[in-house]
A and B are shown apart, each in its own frame.
Chain A
Amino acid sequence: MIPELGHYALMLALGLALIQGIMPIVGTRTNDPVLMSMAAPSALAQFFFVAIAFTSLAICYVTSDFSVLNVFENSNSHMPFIYRLTSLWGNHEGSMLLWVSILAFFGALVAVFGTNLPVVLKANALAVQAWIAAAFHLFILTTSNPFVRIPQAPFEGRDLNPILQDPGLAFHPPMLYLGYVGFSIAFSFAIAALLEGRIDAAWARWVRPWVLGAWMCLTLGIAGGSYWAYYELGWGGFWFWDPVENASLMPWLAGTALLHSAVVMEKRGALKVWTILLAILTFSLSLIGTFLVRSGVLTSVHAFATDPTRGIFILAILVVFIGGALALFGWRAPLLKQGGLFAPISREGALVFNNLFLTTACATVFVGTLYPLALEALTGEKISVGAPFFNSTFGPLFIPLLLVMPFGPLMGWKRGDLLGAAQRLMAAALLGALATAAAFAIEQGGPVLAPFGAGIAVFVMAGAVTDIAERTLFMRVPFRASLQRAIGLPRSAWGTAFAHFGIGATLLGIVAVTAWGSERIAEVKIGDNLDIAHYRLTLDGLFNREGPNYRDMVGRFTVRRMNGEYIGVMEPSRRSFPNRNMTTTEAALMTRGVSQLYLSLGDPGPDERVAVRLYFKPHVLLIWLGAAIMFAGGALSLSDRRLRVGAPRPAKARAVLQPAE
């Protein structure tokens, strides 16, 4: 009964999406306020029914209703509650349902909180949102129905893929989707603006909070996925330049560019056309990411060709939405008037520089990810594009970006003072140089460029601090006055400083761990010692431990300092899942400050020996801590009063900002 209810609710949601997609547009064309006002309630109703569908499937999962094929294939009644729930989106059908649920959720948010939006813009934007929703509802209902029943229900389900039986699954996909799908709002508003043929600075003010929110979720989603891979895969890699990762990195890069160009548009009325294009591209990249991950095209071009229904369907969605949006852009964008003049050396100029490098970096990832697929499809030739390619192209593109980053916030709008900014960044640059020198002195080995990387990271962080110090006149006025100024600063200024500081922290972590991390691979027997950095590990014993649906072979290690001082115990294990006949490595991690000891177990060999991999990962936690700081920066910015209140009706300005028709 419950799955049928969910299935039916999803069909109703499709119907409502069609109404929401057609009526308001007709209304804006015929100037009918009644039709236009249908947008908001139908968005809410659509969300209501999608929520019913999602909840129905969730109930099936939690109650282990194995008469539903999707539940049978991906769940098992012995799993803990949290995994019974999260296995909902650990598979294709369920994750698509999560995708549309979040889409409908965002539509509902616009309907509820968009009370200060112009009626026409809101009607058009919600209609565009509904077209996307309708396409994906149709996709789910025709090719990926999660509510299909099995005639004779089995007693027990297969298991969830053991790698996915992890708290990471509860967090990573929803956050990622909140980011991906959140950018659909910017897309819908961009299309709405193009349909209407008018756009002004207020548009950026309405769209920016949505972009910011989506960017925050995506940042945390990517970082969460990276940390998950780090501890789960057993050798402590944090980024693999895997196509699936690239699929999430591309919208992040484009979204970051969008975030910055929207600031220029809001504050100075410039870069309007470019911002619209970026809004379209960012969500297009989210769609492409969904296609790459969901169509199976990545596994191999052949796998895609043998079962192409889903892939073709998503491909059609891509072509229609991206192609349609870009065509509309080509047709209508010339109508939008460019505004806002500025000198090359200015805050705007710095943000344009940021956009140039971010979009180029994004294009590099795009080409690198799709090139092997395209080449094989066209010529049949197989090549690989992996981490070494991305490291040698993406890295050089990011260095100028990072070097210029601290200058941006210190420049004035319209016309900046480069020399003045450079003078104010003296202290930061000095700190960076000092960090480079220190790295050279302390660390032996590692790439020659690594100390410079550390220097840049410190420069970026110190630059962010400089920005706040400058704004509060720190050391130039009494401390109390500085403090008062700090409290009075717009939160978005704090947000910028936090986000930039976070980037520096992440970079420092990446540089430190890749350049100066150490590794020991060895076979040990009970009583053996392993030395790494300034720690000594001793294998005390090997034993078995039973879990709810798995069995662990645990190695127990005591960690001591070199002088014998006891620190703690690490228990890495090899976890075997009888239901799937699979084994995973469960690494043991010990945090020391922001560094970590990382220990994973290999196969037990003959005569009580076991292979182990032991790593010392210096400053590794900074990578994800940096992302958390970026998230906090976004949250600070989002809480800025100026964004929350929304734009006051610019009655006078409107006449000026009217586009040329």
Chain B
Amino acid sequence: MRRLLAVALLIGLLSPTPSLAVQPDEMLSNPVQEARARSLSRELRCMVCQNESIDDSEAPLAHDLRVLVRERIKAGDNDAQIIDFLVARYGEFVLLKPRLSWHTALLWGLPPVLLVFGGALVLVSLTRRSRALGSEDAKLNNVEEQQLADILSDRRRP
């Protein structure tokens, strides 16, 4: 919490002049590593911004994190290790795609549950409707039978 506060103070003091997000001098010379850094950066939040990844953000903190990610890549960490490292340092808040845990079960679970439940509900109501449709089409009730008989007999009696 104190760190966040410090960071907030920091941006308060900064001039609002934007610069480009990813600076040319930050980029790794190895294009494969750089591509990895870019795709990792898109999953990480710039914690002082509103809903911006460190890849998009122009904030100095995002710059530091981008450099950090690239340092870890150069040091030979794999993606999971880098993510773990950042979460250990900054908490789950740094991940733009939260990991599945008890706290996020509802978040991840709701869409599939809704789809399955909604689908089941629709299926039940559809089969009921189509069964009713089948009986509606196939069979006539007594009154209709009588009407049909009358019509037919009318026709026979010219």
Contact residues of A with B, CB < 8 Å?
A: 234-235, 237, 240-243, 270, 298-299, 341-344, 349, 352-353, 356-357, 359-360, 363-364, 367-368, 371, 375, 379, 381-389, 392-393, 397, 414-415, 521-523, 581-585, 600, 602-603, 611, 613
A384-B93 contact given A344-B126, A367-B106, CB 8 Å threshold? yes
Of B16, B111, B118, B130, which is within 8 A of A582 by CB?
B16
Determine if B20 and A383 form an interchain contact, defined as CB atoms under 8 angstroms apart.
no
A356-B107 contact given A383-B98, A386-B51, CB 8 Å threshold? no
Bound Cα distance A368, B50 (Å): 15
Bound Cα distance A241, B52 (Å): 10
A476 to chain B: closest CB distance in Å? 30
Bound Cα distance A91, B24 (Å): 36
Residues of chain B contacted by A243 (CB below 8 angstroms) = 51
Residues of chain B contacted by A397 (CB below 8 angstroms) = 111, 115
30 residue pairs bridging A and B, Cβ less than 8 Å apart? A235-B20, A240-B51, A243-B51, A341-B129, A341-B130, A343-B129, A344-B130, A352-B122, A353-B122, A356-B115, A356-B122, A359-B118, A363-B114, A367-B111, A371-B106, A371-B107, A381-B103, A383-B93, A383-B103, A384-B45, A384-B93, A384-B94, A384-B98, A386-B45, A387-B42, A388-B42, A414-B133, A415-B133, A602-B23, A603-B17
Question: Scoring B residues 51 to 66 as 1 if CB is less than 8 Å from chain A, else 0, what string do you get?
Answer: 1110010000000000
- Closest partner residue, chain A, to B94 (CB atom): A384
A385-B103 contact given A360-B118, A611-B19, CB 8 Å threshold? no
Determine if A364 and B19 form an interchain contact, defined as CB atoms under 8 angstroms apart.
no
Residues of chain A contacted by B91 (CB below 8 angstroms) = 382
A360 to chain B: closest CB distance in Å? 5
Contact residues of B with A, CB < 8 Å?
A: 15-25, 27, 42-43, 45, 50-53, 56, 91-98, 103-104, 106-108, 110-111, 114-115, 118-119, 122-123, 126-127, 129-130, 132-133, 136
Determine if A379 and B103 form an interchain contact, defined as CB atoms under 8 angstroms apart.
yes
Bound Cα distance A204, B98 (Å): 41
Bound Cα distance A368, B129 (Å): 34
Determine if A349 and B103 form an interchain contact, defined as CB atoms under 8 angstroms apart.
no
A385 to chain B: closest CB distance in Å? 6
B74 to chain A: closest CB distance in Å? 18
- Closest partner residue, chain B, to A600 (CB atom): B20
- Closest partner residue, chain A, to B95 (CB atom): A384
Of A240, A371, A600, A611, which is within 8 A of B23 by CB?
A611
Known: A240-B51, A583-B17. 11 other contacts (CB 8 A): A299-B50, A342-B133, A360-B114, A382-B92, A383-B104, A384-B96, A386-B45, A389-B98, A415-B133, A582-B16, A585-B18
Of A381, A387, A522, A585, which is within 8 A of B24 by CB?
A522
Residues of chain A contacted by B111 (CB below 8 angstroms) = 360, 363-364, 367, 393, 397
A349-B126 contact given A356-B115, A360-B111, A364-B110, CB 8 Å threshold? yes
- Closest partner residue, chain B, to A385 (CB atom): B98
Residues of chain B contacted by A415 (CB below 8 angstroms) = 133
Which of B52, B56, B96 has the most chain A CB atoms closer than 10 A to its own CB?
B96
Determine if B118 and A386 form an interchain contact, defined as CB atoms under 8 angstroms apart.
no
A342-B130 contact given A375-B103, A397-B115, CB 8 Å threshold? yes
- Closest partner residue, chain B, to A387 (CB atom): B96
Residues of chain A contacted by B107 (CB below 8 angstroms) = 367-368, 371, 385, 389
Residues of chain B contacted by A371 (CB below 8 angstroms) = 104, 106-107
A237-B56 contact given A298-B50, A581-B16, CB 8 Å threshold? yes
Of A357, A359, A522, A602, which is within 8 A of B19 by CB?
A602
- Closest partner residue, chain B, to A380 (CB atom): B1
Of B93, B98, B110, which is within 8 A of A363 by CB?
B110
A343-B98 contact given A235-B21, A367-B106, CB 8 Å threshold? no
Determine if A235 and B56 form an interchain contact, defined as CB atoms under 8 angstroms apart.
yes
Bound Cα distance A521, B34 (Å): 12
A631 to chain B: closest CB distance in Å? 28
Determine if A603 and B96 form an interchain contact, defined as CB atoms under 8 angstroms apart.
no
Bound Cα distance A243, B107 (Å): 15
Residues of chain A contacted by B53 (CB below 8 angstroms) = 386-387
B118 to chain A: closest CB distance in Å? 5
A189 to chain B: closest CB distance in Å? 24
Bound Cα distance A171, B68 (Å): 41
Bound Cα distance A584, B18 (Å): 7
- Closest partner residue, chain B, to A353 (CB atom): B122
- Closest partner residue, chain B, to A300 (CB atom): B50
Determine if A583 and B119 form an interchain contact, defined as CB atoms under 8 angstroms apart.
no
Determine if B126 and A611 form an interchain contact, defined as CB atoms under 8 angstroms apart.
no
Which 10 pairs of residues, A with B, have the shortest CB-CB distance?
A386-B96, A388-B97, A602-B20, A341-B133, A364-B111, A344-B126, A343-B130, A382-B93, A389-B97, A384-B45
Residues of chain B contacted by A386 (CB below 8 angstroms) = 45, 51, 53, 96-97
Residues of chain B contacted by A270 (CB below 8 angstroms) = 129
Of A383, A600, A613, which is within 8 A of B92 by CB?
A383
B41 to chain A: closest CB distance in Å? 11
Residues of chain B contacted by A360 (CB below 8 angstroms) = 111, 114-115, 118
A367-B110 contact given A344-B126, A383-B98, CB 8 Å threshold? yes
- Closest partner residue, chain B, to A379 (CB atom): B103
Residues of chain A contacted by B93 (CB below 8 angstroms) = 382-384
Bound Cα distance A234, B22 (Å): 12
Of B25, B27, B92, B133, which is within 8 A of A343 by CB?
B133
